[in-house]
Amino acid sequence: MFSDILLDHFRQPRHAGELPGATHTVEVSNPVCGDVLRLAVRMDTGRIAEARFLCRGCTTAIAAASFVAESLQGATLESAAALTSAAISSGLGGLPPATLHGAQLAEDAVKSLCNAIQRG
């Protein structure tokens, strides 16, 4: 049902945990399933120098959060904004339709984060 890359991100999440010195932190949730994702970054000279996440949710939500946090390392705001649910699903080897909500949660977090960064 799940790809090897998705299972790897779930079993060995990248960049999980709190981020001391974060410049921006957002939290999004899916009220239908109860998944919650907190995404924090530290900006440095127009790039995301570091990203971390905390996620309480299903296998897909945790894997998507890990994928996003890894993808944000060194990213510009423009490249971060390109992390859509379709790109996240593709990066995780394709998600079954019933689990796309995990990628959507991660996209919502990235959009919220980009908005927070643009606001300063």
Dump pLDDT digits (tens) for 52-111. Answer: 999 999 999 999 999 999 999 999 999 999 999 999 999 999 999 999 999 999 999 999
Using alpha carbons, select from 15, 37, 16, 23 the residue that is nearest to residue 116. 23
pTM over 0.75: yes
- pLDDT digit string, tens, across residues 10-57: 999 999 999 999 999 999 999 888 999 999 999 999 999 999 999 999
Q: How many of the other CB atoms lie within 10 Å of CB of 8? A: 16
Q: How many of the other CB atoms lie within 10 Å of CB of 32? A: 7
Q: Which CATH architecture has domain 4-119?
A: Alpha-Beta Complex (3.90)
